[in-house]
Amino acid sequence: MIVPPGERPQGFPANERLRTDREFRDVVRKGERLHTAHYTVYRDSLGGEKRQVGISAGKRAGGAVARNRAKRLLREFYRLHKGAFPKGTRTAIVVRKPPEGAVLSSVCAELLPALRRRWGGSEGNAPCGPDISSSAS
């Protein structure tokens, strides 16, 4: 890594994800748990600079369309609020109940306060609600 990666603040590349079944099992088994109305969040801490997130939506999260929707919203939530996911941690978010009619702001309103309360939030990322995109031209 000679050239600095120049990490884009709102990306979600493959190496920031939990990719294998093993990694998921590890986090779910060893991590701390946090329940909200529709989701369960597992987080363990490895130290270092890496930050990994995995999203799981099984059969109970609804049909394929509903599952895709839920996962996409959670991905967006991560991208826009990386401050709630400290470096050196691994987080797995499991969709437990189908969040019917959810939009990004409602997902954010459900998860962000809970995460801050439990693990402490860091630097002021955008709050919930319709944030006008940061880099207005």
Partner RNA sequence: UGAGGAGGCCAGGUGGCCGCCGGUCCGCCGUAGCCAUGGCGAGAGCCAUGGCGAAGGCGGGCGGGAGGAAAGUCCGGGCUCCGCAGGGCAGGGUGCCGGGUAAUCCCCGGUGGGGGCGACCCCGAGGACAGUGCCACAGAAAACAUACCGCCCGCCGAAGCGGCGGCGCAAGCCGCUGCGAAGGCGGGUAAGGGUGAAAUGGUGAGGUAAGAGCUCACCGCGGGCCGGGCGACCGGCCUGGCACGGCAAACCCCACCCGGAGCAAGACCGAAUAGGAGGGCGACGGCCCCGCCGUUUUCCGGCGGGACCGGAAGGGCGGCCCGCCCGGGGCCCUCGGGUACAGGUCGCUGGAGGCGCGCGGUAACGCGCGUCCUAGAGAAAUGGCCGUCACGCGGCGGUUCGCCGCCGCGCACAGAACCCGGCUUACGGCCUCCUCGGACA
Q: Which residues are at the interface with RNA (CB under 7 A)?
A: 1-15, 17-22, 24-25, 54-56, 63-65, 68-69, 71-73, 75-76, 79, 103-105, 130-135, 137
**Closer residue to RNA, CB minimum distance, 12 or 37:** 12
Q: How far is the CB of 80 from RNA (least distance, A)?
A: 7
Q: Treating both helix axes as pointing N-terminal to C-terminal, what angle do 104-119 and 64-80 enclose, rounded to 10 degrees? A: 60
**Closer residue to RNA, CB minimum distance, 9 or 127:** 9
**Closer residue to RNA, CB minimum distance, 11 or 48:** 11
Contacts of 98 (CB under 8 A, 6+ apart): 38, 60, 61, 62, 66, 70
Q: How far is the CB of 40 from RNA (least distance, A)?
A: 12
Smallest CA-to-CA distance from 69 within 114, 24, 110, 99 is with 99
Q: How far is the CB of 36 from RNA (least distance, A)?
A: 18
Amino acid at 20: T
Smallest CA-to-CA distance from 110 within 73, 83, 61, 56 is with 73
Q: How far is the CB of 121 from RNA (least distance, A)?
A: 20
